[in-house]
Amino acid sequence: MLTTDLLLNAYRIMVTARSMAAIYEDNRTITKYVHSTSAGHEAIQIAAGLQLTPNDWFSPYYRDDSLMMAAGFEPQQLMLQLLAKATDPFSGGRSYYCHPSSRDADKPKIMHQSSATGMQAIPATGIAQALQYQLQQGLLPNGLNPLPVVLCSLGDGSVTEGEVSEAWQFAILKQLPIIYLVQDNGWSISATTAEVRVMNAFEYADGFKGLYKLQCNGAHFEESYQTLQQAFAYARTERKPVLVHATVPLLGHHTSGVRREFYRSKEDLQQHSLHDPIPHLRQTLLQAGIAETVLLETEATARQTAATAFQKAVEAPDPNPATVTEHIFAPTPITEEKGERSPKNAEKVLMVDAALHAIEEILAAHPEALLYGQDVGRRLGGVFREAATLAEKFGDHRVFNTAIQEAYIVGSTAGMSAAGLKPIVEVQFADYIYPGFNQLVTEISKSCYLSNGKFPVQMVLRIPTGAYGGGGPYHSGSIESTLLSIKGIKVVYPSNAADMKGLMKAAFYDPNPVIMLEHKGLYWSKVPGTDGAKMPEPAADYMLPLGKAARVLEASAQHIKQGTSICIITYGMGVYWAKQAAQSFAGQVEIIDLRTLFPLDETCIAETVTRHGKVLVLTEEQQNNSFAEALAYRITHCCYQFLDAPVEVMGALNTPAVPIHLALEAAMLPSITAIEKRIAKLLAY
């Protein structure tokens, strides 16, 4: 039996949440931002929230305001976000209602929460993955009690998302301490259960062998609390995943913008109202001996609390527009080149080995660092041998394979980083990044900004890229323009071994998400003309800051003075094409290797363009709508007064993909002869 104190506290939160929902409805002109409330879901949410501790993590979804209050958050804190106020403790006015993030020491922690339904399952599972590793490696505080678990809250409609399946698969495979709470109200916006799915989450979970399952009537507080007690006890002691499926009524709207009268019949609303959790808990309290006067006083106090909080939130200051660009990135500590780039007697190494050695040094120095992805584990060490021997040296718990789950590989890093780990992950080929894009865009890139700086995602994502050896339409693509359309990530593209090692180290120490594009054709310098990618290996302390371009070939002062020089701005394989083409124009060509595509070294670009007045931007990507064309436009816009000729752009032909046949591949990519002709054209101006 639950104590009357517990029941009365739950009732207080419940009627407060319902009072808040009523205030929002009565003040629609003020609460103009789209929002959802927990009306009908209060019992299961409060039952979950009351069992969370400050040691735990939880990931709510967009109608979990009752859960938030049961976990210790105040109505006014939620309302400040509802009204997008400057003092919103979660996002500083950047995000919707009930999209929280918190590091408060006296409450369970919440990483950045997105709106995309079901997407939180992967980052939340990443937190559980981190907790398991930290516990096993002694990285959690001594004597931590109770042991932390993760609560991930979902709507039943979101369980049809493939990324929920990826999360469940990984959680069961690795036996992670996480509770997936599925609140099933029978609706997916305007679609009913019968329209969009053949089974509920509890039935669906039958296909996930090893997932402990519970279900309850989520409108009854006592049953909900006892079910979740069981779930939390199992996750805390067994350190294994649990699914709780709770049926609940939907008494409010889907959101304030998609209102119930738009799509629900009177009969449906009436049926749902019969399961309202408030009258049920009220009757339970009366039967337990709580006086009617006590309940009336509780209800009056709840209404007053909500009204007072709302008024204070309305009066709170709005955000200062001058702060709108804050927290896109967290400040990086690596701002200057340091360490030995060319130690005495250092041997030349291949790019692939420079990357391997950089990660080996990182893993040796940082127990919080892990490496995982497809085929990077002990047996193969990466399909390009880019992780060879690392599992043998550091163990399968730190270097391991994942399933073919690009979304999980990418998205789990958000949770790992939030919990204090520093993941390095790999997607096997650039062409297969797209299943991970949802997590990259929705969760990773926005986390620092929408959490108001609380949760930057410290991760390195390695992606082998570029055309090489007839890899063809699904193994030789270039994706930098697509990546660069995402705000909130950094993109690095080294062209030689020394840069690879220095940039890899800087990427690891950067507190933001960094993508390392690693050209397969430069890994072993087997492509004719790329022997220069092998370089003396820098020392372990060498770091090269992101956003610093390099001048890899200089034009003569005489040609610059005479106006008979040009600059080629390029990166990756383009550096070696440019070098070969420049041999026909002694002293007339200067080559800039960007090394980092974002942040971009605009100072170096502007200075070089100003000095020469003639520019060729060279890329391996298809030319149309590319990063290279965008860069050419920016050069024209910012440096037009110094240009002696239109900025030229060269890239691959605009075919949908790279052909397999080597002759076709060569015909698609810029040839040295074609580059020479373009140089000659520019010099003729």
For residue range 327-336, what is the model confidence (pLDDT) as tens digits? 999 999 999 9
Question: What are 598's two structure tokens?
Answer: 């974002």
**Do residues 86 and 201 share a domain?**
yes
**Do residues 230 and 276 share a domain?**
yes
Nearest to 95 by CA among 72, 74, 78: 78
pLDDT at 367 over 90: yes
CATH number (domain holding residue 65): 3.40.50.970
Active site residues: 475
461 SS3 class: strand
Task: Answer yes or no: is 657 within a domain.
Answer: yes
DSSP assignment, residue 510?
A: S
Task: Band the pLDDT of 134: cuts 50, 70, 90.
Answer: very high
**Do residues 555 and 489 share a domain?**
no
Could you please report the per-residue DSSP string of 125-170?
Answer: HHHHHHHHHHHHTT-SPTT-SSPP-EEEEEEGGGGGSHHHHHHHHH
**Do residues 276 and 364 share a domain?**
no
Supply the mean pLDDT for the chain.
96
Query: How far is 102 from 619, CA to CA, in rounded Å?
Result: 42
Task: Band the pLDDT of 381: cuts 50, 70, 90.
Answer: confident
**Do residues 186 and 90 share a domain?**
yes
Query: How far is 462 from 502, CA to CA, in rounded Å?
Result: 15
Mean pLDDT of 419-433: 96
Q: What is the pLDDT of residues 594-614, one digit of tens each?
A: 999 999 999 999 999 999 999
Task: Answer yes or no: is 624 within a domain.
Answer: yes
Task: Band the pLDDT of 455: cuts 50, 70, 90.
Answer: very high
**Do residues 299 and 163 share a domain?**
yes
Residue 190: the pLDDT is 87
State the total domains in the chain.
3
Of 187-196, 358-367, 655-664, give the lowest mean pLDDT range: 187-196
- Residue type at 256 in one-letter notation: S
Q: What is the pLDDT of residues 667-676, one digit of tens each?
A: 999 999 999 9
pLDDT at 656 over 90: yes
pLDDT at 392 over 90: yes
Range of the domain at 574: 550-684
Residue 255: the pLDDT is 85
Task: Answer yes or no: is 329 within a domain.
Answer: no
**Do residues 307 and 377 share a domain?**
no
CATH number (domain holding residue 675): 3.40.50.920
Task: Answer yes or no: is 323 within a domain.
Answer: no
Residue 440: the pLDDT is 97
Which of the listed residues 260, 294, 317 is the one where a domain comes to its end? 317
Task: Answer yes or no: is 450 within a domain.
Answer: yes
Mean pLDDT of 434-443: 96
Task: Band the pLDDT of 116: cuts 50, 70, 90.
Answer: confident
**Do residues 448 and 569 share a domain?**
no
What's CA 28's distance to the chain center, in Å?
33
Mean pLDDT of 155-182: 96
Mean pLDDT of 387-391: 90
pLDDT at 1 over 90: no
**Do residues 63 and 176 share a domain?**
yes
**Do residues 621 and 505 share a domain?**
no
Which of the listed residues 536, 559, 591 is the one where a domain comes to its end? 536
117 versus 227: the higher-pLDDT residue is 227
Residue 386: the pLDDT is 86
Residue 38: the pLDDT is 95
Query: How far is 429 from 517, CA to CA, in rounded Å?
Result: 10
Residue 296: the pLDDT is 98
Task: Answer yes or no: is 505 within a domain.
Answer: yes
Nearest to 458 by CA among 506, 495, 497, 500: 506
Residue 292: the pLDDT is 97
Nearest to 43 by CA among 164, 240, 181: 181
pLDDT at 647 over 90: yes
Instruction: Answer yes or no: are the C-beta atoms of 179 and 149 closer than 8 Å.
Output: yes
pLDDT at 565 over 90: yes
Task: Answer yes or no: is 341 within a domain.
Answer: no
Q: What is the pTM of this model?
A: 0.96
**Do residues 518 and 591 share a domain?**
no
pLDDT at 256 over 90: no
pLDDT at 117 over 90: no
Residue 323: the pLDDT is 97
Mean pLDDT of 150-169: 95
Which of the listed residues 508, 536, 564 is the one where a domain comes to its end? 536
Task: Answer yes or no: is 332 within a domain.
Answer: no
pLDDT at 297 over 90: yes
**Do residues 506 and 574 share a domain?**
no
CA–CA distances in Å: residue 279 to residues 286, 373, 503: 11, 51, 61
Of 9-13, 110-114, 330-334, give the lowest mean pLDDT range: 110-114
Task: Band the pLDDT of 397: cuts 50, 70, 90.
Answer: very high
What's CA 530's distance to the chain center, in Å?
34
